[in-house]
Amino acid sequence: MKIVCIGRNYAEHIEELGNERPDEPIFFLKPDTALLKNNDPFFHPDFSTDIHHEIELLVKIKKEGKSISKEFASDYYDEIGLGIDFTARDLQSKAKEKGRPWEIAKAFNGSAPISNFVSKEDYDMKNVSFKLEKNRKVVQAGNTSLMLWTVDEIISYVSQFILLKIGDIIFTGTPKGVGQVKIGDRLVGYLADKKMLDFEVK
């Protein structure tokens, strides 16, 4: 399976990092070795001193498809979840400066903690709220209504370039409020009011 991540999908997050608003979705990949499941702890790597949390809504692909049209994109997933796109912001800044790829900052072991998945039927995909608490304080709160590109548009766009296969996971971008994690932090993520993630940084 592969993990496809969308960058810059929320206007206020683009602003907080001083990035340019893209005219097309931006995506990158993480390897399956980035996955962290079952609320296992995240071990802070020592190659970065600025690992950021990015809470994101996830969708899981249930049907193989390429060049999927927007109109049919919703047939390609029926489960959603919550994940964190851990980012070594210091390494990413250096990579951006030098025009290098982002993998070094995005694809490391454990950089993709994910929750269990739940049926999308219980949610209005255009209005799904989610949030992240760090040490019991809300640090990020998002809603899919604020996305620049909807889930269906993302699936359609990505599938023009990459065949989507059963079990692939899409990280749909982070809302504002990204910030550093430190050893000892506890991260708890909610999809609407449902607790989906709860783990420690070690």
The binding site for Mg ion (CB under 5 A) comprises 54, 85, 174
Report the residue number, 65 or 113, with the smaller CB distance to Mg ion. 113
In the complex, the smallest distance separating the C-beta of residue 31 from Mg ion, rounded to whole angstroms, is: 16
Are the C-beta atoms of residues 122 and 79 closer than 8 Å to each other?
Answer: no
Report the residue number, 85 or 152, with the smaller CB distance to Mg ion. 85
Report the residue number, 4 or 73, with the smaller CB distance to Mg ion. 4
Q: Which residue is nearest to Mg ion (CB)?
A: 85
Q: Beta-carbon neighbour count of residue 92 at 10 Å?
A: 19
Could you tell me how many residues make up the chain?
A: 202
Residues ≥6 apart with Cβ < 8 Å to 75: 63
Sheet hosting strand 77-84, strand order edge to edge: 26-30, 3-7, 169-171, 55-61, 77-84, 118-119
Are the C-beta atoms of residues 173 and 9 closer than 8 Å to each other?
Answer: yes
Report the residue number, 65 or 158, with the smaller CB distance to Mg ion. 158
Report the residue number, 60 or 106, with the smaller CB distance to Mg ion. 106
List the beta strands (DSSP E) in 8-123. Answer: 26-30, 35-36, 51-53, 55-61, 77-84, 87-88, 112-113, 118-119
* Amino acid identity, position 173: G
In the complex, the smallest distance separating the C-beta of residue 121 from Mg ion, rounded to whole angstroms, is: 26
Tokens of 165: 């296969």
Report the residue number, 64 or 110, with the smaller CB distance to Mg ion. 110
In the complex, the smallest distance separating the C-beta of residue 70 from Mg ion, rounded to whole angstroms, is: 22
